[in-house]
Amino acid sequence: SQQGEEDPQALSIQEGENATMNCSYKTSINNLQWYRQNSGRGLVHLILIRSNEREKHSGRLRVTLDTSKKSSSLLITASRAADTASYFCAPLRAGFQKLVFGTGTRLLVSP
């Protein structure tokens, strides 16, 4: 299975702190994507990192990818209460057209 597994399952921090979430997967991938889901809403695509990339930035987001360890991390810097959501990683296997999501990391950012 190419399912990503996020760790930790839940994370609680204060505003201004950094939040780090990790993802591990099992197969060779074409890319790995991170999504955010606010409670009761659909998922929103955050960032995509290709298998030949090691690090990518988007605003306050920083994603790393280590294909040798089959792992990725998502760092949210200077977190805000509005970052409270569930975060999912989704690895995409080369040649496949479907993503398989894990159970996510629930992030709570307190004011």
Residues in touch with other proteins (CB under 8 A):
30-31, 33, 35, 40-45, 48, 50, 88, 90, 92, 97-104
Question: Measured from the CB of residue 3, what is the shortest distance to other proteins in angstroms?
Answer: 8
Q: Which two tokens stand for residue 10?
A: 């839940």
Which string of DSSP letters, residue by residue, matches 4-27?
Answer: -EEE-SEEEEETTS-EEEEEE-SS
Question: Measured from the CB of residue 86, what is the shortest distance to other proteins in angstroms?
Answer: 9
Tell me how far CA of residue 46 lies from CA of 18, 35, 111, in angstroms: 17, 5, 23
Question: Measured from the CB of residue 38, what is the shortest distance to other proteins in angstroms?
Answer: 11
Query: Closer to other proteins at the Cβ: 75 or 100?
Result: 100
Query: Closer to other proteins at the Cβ: 78 or 94?
Result: 94
Query: Closer to other proteins at the Cβ: 14 or 96?
Result: 96
The neighbour count for residue 74, using CB atoms within 10 Å, is 25
What is the three-class DSSP state of 101? Answer: coil
